[in-house]
């Protein structure tokens, strides 16, 4: 059987377990070849007080051109953190070039958390991100990103399940077949993942909240979903596996007092993602 390939359009961050440092090993464990397409290079992610940030926008076209010349094809394209608004157009061109009938496109609209945008995200970038949504088969926003994509005020972050359902329906109207809203706080002790698939009843995957919120959790969840879904699992099962995998990693971090910005110690449980 031909081995699958997934393009990972994301930043490369040395320290802090996010983006390609997380998605590449996770995808590889699921026997999918990971092909990194860097959007920025950082020494540490933007939740640290200090970090080196090199926007890769000026180099991306040349980088991608070689893949065009090589006539590469991809079974999956997963996009994450983008470093500039111009990158959105580059990513759209990448998808238009490489998306074939059966190529799965997952867009993780990495923009912010807890009602706040990340430091490198400008309003213009957020507006641009809205264009990217229409190219996604799968979208994995958190609540902050869901609100931002729909121009809805985050307020205190308290939304009813019905409201979240309506927001997903509106966003799905723009293109994506499947949406999971990740990391929704529920009654203080739990975290809800709201799963919306077109023409299906919405479903919920609940996990216990363990300790503090940890950066990089979204990258772990979206890459497990991307890999499992590409390997033939249903969207619901992919989310379930991803949520329970992330929970296990978070529990380990709590028990070992890993600082919250160091990301999830996914290495400890990678083998649980192995496929036959």
Positions touching ligand PXL (CB under 6 A) are: 11, 13, 18-19, 42, 45-47, 81, 110, 118, 215-216, 218-219
Supply the minimum distance, in Å, between the C-beta of residue 240 and ligand PXL. 21
Nearer to ligand PXL, 11 or 55 (CB): 11
| Cα–Cα nearest to 267, from 14, 15, 4, 21 | 21
Supply the minimum distance, in Å, between the C-beta of residue 73 and ligand PXL. 27
Cβ atoms of residues 106 and 76 within 8 Å: yes
Supply the minimum distance, in Å, between the C-beta of residue 120 and ligand PXL. 7
Q: How far apart are CA 274 and CA 43, in angstroms?
A: 29
Nearer to ligand PXL, 216 or 233 (CB): 216
Supply the minimum distance, in Å, between the C-beta of residue 110 and ligand PXL. 5
Distance of CA 43 to the CA centre of its chain: 20
Nearer to ligand PXL, 72 or 117 (CB): 117
Q: Where are the beta strands (DSSP E) in 27-126?
A: 33-44, 53-55, 76-79, 104-107, 112-113, 116-117
Phi then psi for 251, rounded to 5 degrees?
-60, -45
Q: Is the dihedral of CA 269, 272, 273, 276 positive or negative?
A: positive
Nearer to ligand PXL, 104 or 111 (CB): 111
Q: How far apart are CA 195 and CA 257, in angstroms?
A: 31
| Residue 29: exposure state from Cβ atoms within 10 A (0-12, 13-18, ≥19) | buried
Supply the minimum distance, in Å, between the C-beta of residue 38 and ligand PXL. 11
Nearer to ligand PXL, 183 or 216 (CB): 216
Q: How far apart are CA 46 and CA 118, in angstroms?
A: 7
Supply the minimum distance, in Å, between the C-beta of residue 169 and ligand PXL. 26
Q: Can you name the residues that pair with 193 across neighbouring β-strands?
A: 205
Nearer to ligand PXL, 137 or 219 (CB): 219
């Amino acid at each position: 059987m031909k081995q699958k390939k997934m393009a990972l359009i994301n930043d490369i961050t040395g320290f802090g377990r996010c983006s390609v440092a997380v998605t590449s090993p996770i995808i590889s464990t699921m026997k999918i070849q990971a092909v990194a397409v860097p959007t920025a290079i950082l020494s540490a992610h933007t939740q640290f007080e200090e970090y080196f940030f090199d926007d890769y926008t000026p180099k991306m076209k040349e980088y991608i051109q070689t893949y065009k010349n090589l006539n590469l094809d991809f079974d999956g394209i997963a996009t994450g953190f983008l470093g500039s608004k111009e990158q959105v157009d580059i990513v759209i061109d990448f998808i238009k070039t490489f998306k074939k009938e059966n190529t799965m496109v997952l867009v993780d609209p990495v923009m912010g958390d807890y009602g706040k945008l990340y430091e490198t995200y400008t309003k213009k970038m957020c507006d641009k991100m809205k264009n990217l949504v229409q190219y996604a088969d799968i979208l994995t926003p958190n609540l902050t990103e869901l609100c931002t994509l729909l121009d809805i005020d985050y307020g205190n972050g308290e939304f009813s399940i019905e409201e979240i359902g309506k927001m997903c329906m509106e966003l799905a109207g723009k293109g994506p077949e499947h949406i999971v809203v990740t990391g929704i706080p529920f009654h203080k002790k739990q975290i809800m993942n709201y799963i919306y698939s077109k023409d299906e009843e919405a479903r919920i995957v609940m996990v216990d909240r363990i300790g503090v919120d940890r950066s990089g959790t979204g990258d772990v969840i979206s890459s497990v979903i991307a890999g499992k879904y590409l390997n033939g699992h249903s969207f619901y099962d992919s989310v379930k596996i991803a949520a329970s995998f992330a929970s296990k990693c978070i529990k380990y971090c709590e028990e070992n007092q890993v600082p919250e910005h160091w990301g999830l110690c996914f290495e400890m449980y990678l083998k649980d993602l192995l496929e036959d």
